[in-house]
Each structure stands twice: as C-alpha cells, then as structure tokens.
Amino acid sequence: MSTDITSPDITAAAPPHRGRRRRYSQLSRSDKVWLSLMVGIPSAIHIAFVWLPAIGTIMLSFTKWDGIHLGTWTGVGFKNYWTIFTVFDDKFFPALFNNLILLVFLAACSLVGVLLAYLLDKGVRGSAIYQSIYYLPVVLSLAVVGFIWKSVMYSQSQGLFNVGRTTPIDFLGNSQKLFEFHVPFLSFPLGLTKNFAALLLAMAWRHIGYVMVLYLAGLKSVDPSLREAASIDGCNEWQTFRRVVFPVMKPINVVVLVITVIEALRAFDIIVALKEPIGTTVLGVLVKNNLTGEGGGQVGIGSAYGVILLLLCLGFIIWYLINNYREQEL
C-alpha cells in the first residue's frame, strides 16, 4: 500500500483491483474532472435542449391541447396520427412526396456541384471568377433566395423570365402537376407541381454553389502525387476520379451527403418566405402551421407531424452512424 500513497489520485478512489488501477493511472485526477466536465456539460445541454423537447413533443403528439394553459391537455391516444393519415392525407402525403422529390433533386444538384468543383480544380482560365459567381448565392439565406427569385425572376409583371411575354407565366402560383401517378390507398394523385419545380430551381441555384465550394476545398487538399501515380499507371480521367480521388475524398463525400439530406428534410424557409403557395407544402411547413401562430394552434397534430419528421431523420441518422462506425472498425 505504500506505493499507493505516492500517487494521491488513486488512494482517493475506492480500492481498485490491479488491472483497472494501471489503466486509470494514465489520467490524473484533474484530467478526470476536466474530462467529465467536457463530456458532461455538452451532454447535459444536448439532453436538456434536444432530447427533453423531443420527448415532450412525442408525448404531446398523443394529446389534444390548444397550447394556452399548461396542464390542460387531454390524452387522445393515436387519434392525431389517425387524423393525419385519414382526414389530412391530402396534405400529409403530398408534403412527404415533396420532401422526397427535394431529396432526389438536391442529390442531383450535389453531383453537379461536384462536377463544377472538379472542372474548376483543373485550373480553368478565370476559375476565381467562376468560383465567386457560383458561390455568391451561398451567402444568402434560403428565405432571401426565395425573395430574390420571386420578385426578380418569377414575378408576372416584372420578372426576368416574363420579360417580353404577352401572356406571362405564373411560375409560383400554378399548382398544375408536371407529372402525377396514383397510389392505391390514396384517393388523389401524387405528383410534382409546377410551382414546386420553380422553387427547386431557386434552391438549386444555392445548393450547387454550396457543394461546389465544399468539394473544391477538399480537392485542393488531395495529394498531387496520388494523381501522378495514377496517370503513370495509365488511368484515364474518369478512372483517376473514381478510383483515386473519390475514395480519398471520403470525409467530404460524407459531409456533402449529410448536408443534402438535412437540406431536403428541413427545407421550409424558402416556402414560408414565399407565403406557402399551394402545392409546395413540405413536412416542416405542416409542423409550423399547426404549432405556431395565433389561437394556440393544434399542438397535438403539430407534434404528431413533428414526430413523423423526427422518425424520418432518425432513420437516416441511424443508417449513417452504423455505416460510419462499421468502417472505422475495419
């Protein structure tokens, strides 16, 4: 025991057996305090501001509440979900489908962004100018992007896309569908409305630049000797990218993927900023409309929409984590 006295941090702890003591001895007592603080404080904040509200939302989704007096909620079981899937099905499913379209579309935009980044990285003449042009929209919030496209591009009376037309095109008000298809259990068709397509265009304007800058930064950091080696081995352009550059860029690829999915699920600001034209609703808008605003709202139904959105996000997050950890172990 005399050896223990020389290291006070261990005597303070409950008498441990030998194996554990050796492992713990690498951290001093203050290390441990700092570590627990550094882990504990963010965890506490995370739990308090993310998970407690999330659990609260889940609980509220099983109640009927006007949001005015605390404690006046009454449990209604799964009725809110039932209402969403039966009475509000013509709002919910088109919104879900719009989120899905957004995901596919933004993924395509990401690919364009990657392509642009690759071309610019090749040292095109005036690449700094191109970079600035593509990057410019990224500094704007999506709401501002919406305002710009609404008044400068799409306006029926003064929009750039309507200049010189005798019968102006109603880009943002036209909810006719570009394509539609029937789903067996729904009484109405799902499809892509023309005004949502117009919004997609505005979003692409920003998203492509965003992905391009991220990817460009990544490409700059790729070791040139890798490419040299690839070309010495006789790889062509595509093979070099697919077999050498792309795998090296894995961290950036993951970031781009995550950003694309998050943008697709949370996209809501541009739609709200444009006063929610019909046919452009996404899940986030439904959550907002039922929870906030005058009159207290339908907290139960709004929460139920929120829970559905949470489950969709969780699905992606779990898939991502599993994938990520599995590769780290290998």
Partner 1 sequence: MSGTTEQSPSPRDVGFSINRRQVLIGGAGAASAAALLAACGSDAKTTPATTGGATGGTTAGTTAATSGAAAGGEVTFGSNYSDAKPKEAMQAAIDSTGLKVKVNTTDHNSYQGNITNYLAQPDDVLCWFAGYRMRFFADKGLVGDISDVWSKFTDFGDSFKTASTGNDGKQYFVPLYYYPWAVHYRKSVFAEKGYKVPTNKAELVALATKMQADGLIPFAYANDGKWPVQGTFDILNMRVNGYKYHVDLLAGKEKWTDPKTKAVFTAWAELLPFHQTNANGRTWQEAATSLEKKEAGMYYLGTFVATNSKDQAYLDDLDFFNFPALDDKIGADALDAPIDGFMMAAKPKNIEGAKALLAGLGTAKAVDAFLKIEGASVAANGKADTSGYNAIQKKSQELVSKAKNIAQFLDRDTSPDFVSNVIGDAFAAFVADPTQVDTILKGIEDKKSTYLS
**Contact positions toward partner 1, by CB under 8 A?**
66-70, 83, 87-88, 90-91, 143-144, 147, 151, 154-157, 168, 170-176, 195, 272-273, 275-278, 281, 288-290, 292-298, 301
Report the alpha-carbon distance of residue 309 to residue 253 in Å, rounded. 24
**Closer Cβ to partner 1, 226 or 273, answer by number:** 273
Report the alpha-carbon distance of residue 305 to residue 291 in Å, rounded. 10
| Shortest Cβ 278–partner 1 spacing (Å) | 4
Beta-strand runs (E) in the chain:
63-64, 74-75, 177-181, 190-193
Two structure tokens written together for 76 = 């209604």
Two structure tokens written together for 290 = 């039922």
Of 44, 234, 49, 274, nearest to 149 by C-alpha is 274
Report the alpha-carbon distance of residue 270 to residue 203 in Å, rounded. 8
- Work out the number of other CB atoms within 10 angstroms of the CB of residue 92: 20
| Shortest Cβ 69–partner 1 spacing (Å) | 5
**Closer Cβ to partner 1, 110 or 290, answer by number:** 290
| Shortest Cβ 10–partner 1 spacing (Å) | 46
End-to-end CA distance of the chain: 42
| Shortest Cβ 105–partner 1 spacing (Å) | 21
Residue with tokens 């969403």: 84
Report the alpha-carbon distance of residue 78 to residue 22 in Å, rounded. 54
Report the alpha-carbon distance of residue 213 to residue 182 in Å, rounded. 40
| Shortest Cβ 26–partner 1 spacing (Å) | 44
| Shortest Cβ 248–partner 1 spacing (Å) | 41
Transcribe 288-320 into DSSP letters: HHHHSSTT---HHHHHHHHHHHHHHHHHHHHHH
| Shortest Cβ 268–partner 1 spacing (Å) | 10
